[in-house]
Amino acid sequence: MKKKERNLFIFLLALVCFGYLISAFYTKEEAGKIFIYVSGEEIGSYPLNEDRNIPIKGEAGFSNHLVIKGGKAYMESAGCPDQICVREKAIWKNKETIVCLPNKIVVEAVSEEEKELDGVT
Amino acid sequence: MGNKVACLGLFVTLALIFTYVETLIPFSFGVPGMKLGLTNIVLVLLLYWYGPKEALFVSILRIFLAGFLFGSFFGILYSLSGALLSLCIMTGARKIQDFGMIGVSILGGVFHNIGQLFVAMIVVSNYHIGFYLPALLLSGTVTGWFIGFLARQISMRISNKIEK
Ligand SMILES: [Zn+2]
Helices marked H in chain B: 2-24, 39-49, 52-70, 73-94, 101-124, 133-158
With beta carbons less than 8 A apart as the criterion, state whether B133 and B117 touch.
Answer: yes
Q: How many CB atoms lie within 10 A of CB A25?
A: 8
pLDDT at A117 over 60: no
Indicate the residue of B100, B110, B124 with minimum beta-carbon distance to A40: B124
Q: Which residues surround the ion ligand 1 when the cut-off is CB under 5 Å?
A: A 78, 80, 85, 100
What is the distance in angstroms between the Cα of A50 and the nearest Cα belonging to chain B?
A: 24
pLDDT at B7 over 90: no
CA separation for the pair B63, B12 (Å, rounded): 10
pLDDT, tens only, B29-66: 888 888 899 999 999 999 999 999 999 999 999 999 98
How high is the ipTM of this complex? 0.87
pLDDT, tens only, A47-82: 999 999 999 999 888 899 999 999 999 999 999 888
The model's pTM is 0.89
Count of domains for chain B = 1
CA separation for the pair B41, A100 (Å, rounded): 28
A:B CB pairs within 8 Å? 104
CA separation for the pair B11, B51 (Å, rounded): 13
pLDDT reported for residue B163: 65
pLDDT, tens only, A4-55: 999 999 999 999 999 999 999 988 889 999 999 999 999 999 999 999 999 9
Please give the CATH number for the structural domain made up of A31-120: 2.60.320.10
Contacts of B31 in chain A (CB under 8 A): 84, 88
pLDDT at A115 over 90: no
Range of the domain at B134: 2-161
The enclosing domain of B108 has a CATH number of 1.10.1760.20
CA separation for the pair B152, A56 (Å, rounded): 47
